[in-house]
Amino acid sequence: MLSQWFKVNANFIAFFFGLSCCVIPSTSSPKHTISNGMIVADLYLVDPENGYYCGTRFDWAGVFSGLRYKGHTFFGQWSTAYAATNNDAVIGPVESFSPIGYNDAKQGKTFVVIGVGVLRKKSDTPYKPKELYKIVDGGIWTVRRGKNAIVYQHTLHDASGYAYLYTKTVSLIRGEPKMVLKHSLKNIGKRPIVTDVFDHNFPVIDNQPTGPAIKIKFRGNVKATGKWWGTNAVIHGNTLSFLKVLQGNEWLQCDSLTGFGNDALDYDFKMENHQTGAGIRATSDQPLKKVVFWACATTACPEPYIKITVAPGQTLNWTITYEFYTFTPDAN
């Protein structure tokens, strides 16, 4: 039975925003450990004063501290530049929703980002996900903690007519090396919710750098274009391989990999370390809208997007499943 209810009313977050939230060390941020006897995962709790992540880009629910299985580590600190309000000061398979109502809002008015809150629009320029926006109303968060699962629930109402009840459950399946991210988005407002959400994944397998040992495998053959393809990495068929160990500020990006269909079966990604013999497989029950790929010296990230459309009074449910596995490492 899940127990230990933890509640925080985030309506007063604007007072703390830019103060204690952005300077606290990660060691002071509250977190909770879950385990199914095979996997051990550490997740941060939502806390507007001392939370590990207080930025405005990513969903505050389900930010990881780490995950371990069979002596291997799969998620961890990938960036050395940390402040709680940094747009990407996150760890693990974190998710980000595109803003709702931004284009309709005038300068100084509000828009909504699911899992974050009601934000203030700075100017008439396009939305910039890496920019920090003022949180006008952080909504109400409830976190329920158990032995093998943690449930985050976020309730938000905006004067523009957008409102939702968002629930994200991170659970470890008994007897299996699997983790499930279960989502429920109920539209309790007057306006339809139309957005998309992507999972950044941020794998850091056994703290190995991004290089030839790291391979990303897709269900079918895919292609990529963009900066540093053919120099830092290549795709042959369904496998992405790195040609060198990325150093310092070196990176790789493709804004939209091609080769995916409209079937949910195409949401199937393997992230593997062929030096240590550990991998992650991510699947979902939703079709892909698109797939972005980004990598730096510490992490290589397939970023699958799914479309979200919820009419007033309706609820949308979706899941993402992670399977952790080991295999015989490649010979040197």
What mean pLDDT value characterizes the chain? Answer: 91
DSSP 180-193: EEEEEEEE-SSS-E
Of 305, 243, 93, the C-alpha closest to 178 is: 93
| Pair of tokens at residue 227 | 């900066």
| Pair of tokens at residue 312 | 């007033």
pLDDT at residue 80, as a whole number: 82
Domain residue extents for the chain: 3-199, 208-308
Angular region, 117: left φ>0, alpha ψ -120 to 50, beta rest:
left
| Per-residue b or e along 68-107, where b marks 16 or more CB atoms closer than 10 Å to that residue's CB | bbeebbbbbbbeeeeebbbbbbbbbbbbbbbbbbbeebee
Report the pLDDT averaged over residues 224-235: 91
pLDDT at residue 126, as a whole number: 96
Classify 15 as helix, strand or coil: helix
Span 232-255, pLDDT tens digits: 999 999 999 999 999 988 999 999
Give the model's confidence band at 2: pLDDT under 50 very low, under 70 low, under 90 confident, else very high.
very low
Sequence-separated (6 or more) residues with CB below 8 Å from residue 110 = 101, 118, 119, 120, 121, 136, 158, 159, 160
| Pair of tokens at residue 35 | 């385990």
Does pLDDT of 11 surpass 90? no
CA-atom Rg of the chain in angstroms: 19
pLDDT at residue 27, as a whole number: 60
How far is Cα 288 from Cα 258, in angstroms, rounded to an integer? Answer: 11
Does pLDDT of 23 surpass 70? no
Does pLDDT of 95 surpass 50? yes
Report the pLDDT averaged over residues 211-234: 94
Span 163-198, pLDDT tens digits: 999 999 999 999 999 999 999 999 999 999 999 999
Q: H/E element holding 279?
A: strand 278-284
Q: Count the Cβ atoms, other than its own, within 10 Å of residue 190.
A: 11
178 and 170 in contact (C-beta within 8 Å)? no
**Looking at 24-28, 93-97, 229-233, 321-325, which range is the least confident one?**
24-28
Span 261-281, pLDDT tens digits: 989 999 999 999 999 999 999
How far is Cα 83 from Cα 206, in angstroms, rounded to an integer? Answer: 24
Q: Is 188 exposed, middle or buried (0-12, 13-18, 19+ CB in 10 A)?
A: middle
Span 131-171, pLDDT tens digits: 999 999 999 999 999 999 999 999 999 999 999 999 999 99
